[in-house]
Chain A
Amino acid sequence: MTDVVHLTCPVVDSLQLRSLRAGMAVRLSGTLLTARDAAHARLHQLLQASQALPVNLENQALYYVGPAPAAPGLVVGAAGPTTASRMDPYTPELLAQGLKVTIGKGYRSAAVVSAMVRHQAVYLGAIGGIGALLSRTIKNARVLAFEDLGPEAIYELVVEDFPALVLVDTTGQDYYQIGQDSYRRRR
């Protein structure tokens, strides 16, 4: 937890991605895409119908967030992570499209973890409930697709030093398990 790894998104350095280990602190810079429940459902429908996606997911980092609107003079409102497990049913097919990083909070399913190992992707955790603080690392925000979904649209966020923790690495190691096992005193 002492060293901080700087990661540029989208991730072109697959070697660096594979060197990340569960529990490492990272700072993300570059561009992130956003999607939550409704956008995932639409991406799934398009894939089912063998239609082109409105965004290219190759090497991308996908942040599970529905940002609050920006007050005048700000880029975006509060923008913290939402629960990742709700995206689990859709995640393997998006990893198959080249997605390399997902960012959220909470456990992932066994199916998602094994798909991550297969596609050499990582899952990063951002702290839930600190959306105001996280919004300061967002330097630009624009809607890329599904604008009618409002906060659930797909945004492109330009970030600088967005703080996160490696929760699942490319070997499938899970930091929640490691972290909690050290402090569990019952059951």
Chain B
Amino acid sequence: MRVVSVHRITDAVAELCRTANTLLPPDVYRALAAARAEEISLVGQMTLQQILDNAEYAAQSGVALCQDGGVTLVFLDIGQEVHLVGGLLEDAVQEGVRRGYHTSYLRGSILDRPFGGNNTGDNTPAILYPKIVTGSQVTVTVMPKGGGADNTSRLAMLTPAGGLDAVHDFLLETVEKAGPASCPPLIVGIGLGGSFDYVGQLAKRALLRDIGTPNADPALYALEQQWLRDINQLGIGPQGYGGAMTALAVHIVGHARHIASIPVAVNLQCHSARKGTVVL
């Protein structure tokens, strides 16, 4: 058994809120630079260049990449040999978000009620995804998920008769309807299987995989590549101004399913695909 103080989790979350909101992950930067080289539209090329310039300026100045620091999603993979001490895990994470957003001058984007309500000012409450894993480490991942792209994401309970074609159509329809509001070029996270509640999480977790890392499942990897090509034929392009680079990547996380259902969730991630991880 290993004893870990929750105060270390607070510190880690606070620092991750700062770094995730100001430093574009290297895999995303590389993918955007590659898209800049590949884009055929002149306006699209200029748009991608501005996005790259923004990442450089944010890193150098400490100004947030985007004013929308999103809903703060905190993924916690906790080894079952770990004993957390010093307080409640939930409180420790919220304190980390509160401190991180406040000290890094990040916008509070969270209202305290499901309708109406007041801005909490410090972006709390964050949403936690704790998971018990093997070992004696705690892996903390912070993902600030912007509202614009999440608003355009969709979920459907498809049925076996429609097969993969129905999933494909639902995917393209989602990207098409989202258009510029989702801030393309996108990373498209797809959850496939599970249940109504679980498939949304699968889609969200699909966004955590680094761009360029192949799917461990070869059949899903083949689908990802084919569906990326199809999305990039829609013509939406960077920011919806027209072009070939509508998406940078398609990531699928699959799961077993009920004999009656093919649950599918499409979680669109804007080009400001922010995430940060530390292992304690």
- Taking Cβ atoms with an 8 Å cutoff, the residues of A that contact B are 1, 65-71, 74, 77-80, 82-83, 85, 105-107, 125, 127-133, 135-136, 149-152, 163, 165, 175-176, 178-187
Q: A1-B43, A151-B119 are in contact. Are A132 and B57 (CB under 8 A)?
A: yes
**Chain A residue nearest to B41 in the complex (CB):** A183
- B270 touching A129 by the CB < 8 A rule? yes
Minimum distance in angstroms from A93 CB to a CB of chain B: 21
The residue of chain A having its C-beta at the shortest distance from the C-beta of B102 within the complex is A69
> Are A127 and B242 in contact, with the CB atoms below 8 A?
no
State in angstroms the CA–CA spacing of A163 and B47 once bound together: 11
B63 and A179 within 8 A (CB): no
Contact B242 A181 (CB under 8 A): yes
A/B pair count, beta carbons within 8 Å = 170
Residues of chain B at interface, number, CB under 8 A: 53
The CA-CA distance from A152 to B146 in the complex, in Å, is: 16
Query: In the complex, are the beta carbons of A105 and B181 less than 8 A apart?
Result: yes
Q: Which residues of A contact B180 (CB under 8 A)?
A: 105-107, 125, 128, 176
Residues on A with beta carbons closer than 8 Å to the beta carbon of B41: 179, 182-183
Q: Which residue of A lies closest to B232 (CB)?
A: A185
Instruction: Pick from A80, A128, A130, A182 the residue with the most CB of B within 10 Å.
Output: A128
With the chains together, A1 CA to B44 CA distance in Å?
A: 11
Contact flags B27-49 to A (C-beta < 8 A → 1, else 0):
00000000000001111001100
Stretch of B5-13, B66-74, B153-161 on the interface side: B66-74
- B100, chain A: closest CB distance, angstroms: 13
Is B234 within 8 A of A78, CB to CB?
no
Which chain B positions have C-beta within 8 A of A105? 148, 180-181, 183, 239-240
> CA separation between A82 and B182, bound complex, in Å?
10
- Across the interface, do B67 and A77 meet the contact criterion of CB distance under 8 Å? yes
19 pairs, A vs B, C-beta closer than 8 Å: A68-B106, A77-B105, A78-B64, A78-B67, A83-B151, A83-B181, A85-B181, A129-B54, A129-B65, A129-B271, A131-B63, A131-B66, A133-B50, A163-B50, A179-B41, A179-B242, A180-B234, A180-B242, A183-B41
Candidates B67, B69, B242; contact of A182 at CB < 8 Å: B242
Could you tell me if A176 and B105 are in contact, using CB atoms closer than 8 angstroms?
Answer: no
- Establish whether residues A77 and B63, one from each chain, have CB atoms under 8 Å apart when the complex forms: yes
B234 / chain A contacts, CB cutoff of 8 Å: 180, 184-187
Contact of A107 among B65, B68, B179 (CB under 8 A): B179
Chain B residue at minimum C-beta to C-beta distance from A105: B180
Choose one: A74, A106, A135, A165; the contact of B179 (CB below 8 Å).
A106
CB nearest neighbor in B for A163: B50
Question: Given A129-B272, A184-B234, A186-B230, are A150 and B54 also a contact pair (CB < 8 Å)?
Answer: no
Contacts of A85 in B (CB 8 A): 181
Given contacts A107-B179, A132-B65, A133-B53, contact A71 B243 (CB under 8 A): no
Q: Could you tell me if B50 and A130 are in contact, using CB atoms closer than 8 angstroms?
A: yes
Judge if B244 is at the interface, Cβ distance under 8 Å: yes
Complex interface: chain B residues within 8 A of A67 (CB): 67, 107
Q: How far is the CA of A46 from the CA of B51 in the complex (A)?
A: 38
User: B170 within 8 Å of A by Cβ?
Assistant: no
For the complex, give the distance between the alpha carbons of A185 and B41 in Å.
14
Given contacts A151-B109, A183-B243, contact A82 B53 (CB under 8 A): no
Q: Are B65 and A131 in contact (CB under 8 A)?
A: yes
| CA–CA, A163 and B62, complex, Å | 22
**B190-212 CB contacts (< 8 Å) to partner A:** none
CA distance A73 to B77 in the complex (A): 39
Q: Is B241 an interface residue (CB 8 A)?
A: yes
In angstroms, Cα B119 to Cα A66, docked, is 12
Q: Say whether A68 contacts B65, CB under 8 Å.
A: no
Asked if residues A132 and B63 are in contact (CB atoms below 8 Å), the reply is: yes
The reply to whether A127 and B47 contact each other, CB–CB distance below 8 Å, is yes
Nearest CB in chain B: distance from A8 CB, A: 23
Considering the complex, give the chain B residue whose CB is closest to the CB of A79.
Answer: B67
Q: How far is the CB of B63 from chain A (nearest CB, A)?
A: 4
Alpha-carbon distance between A70 and B243 when the two chains are bound, in angstroms: 35
List residues 229-259 of chain B with CB under 8 A from any CB of chain A. 230, 233-237, 239-244
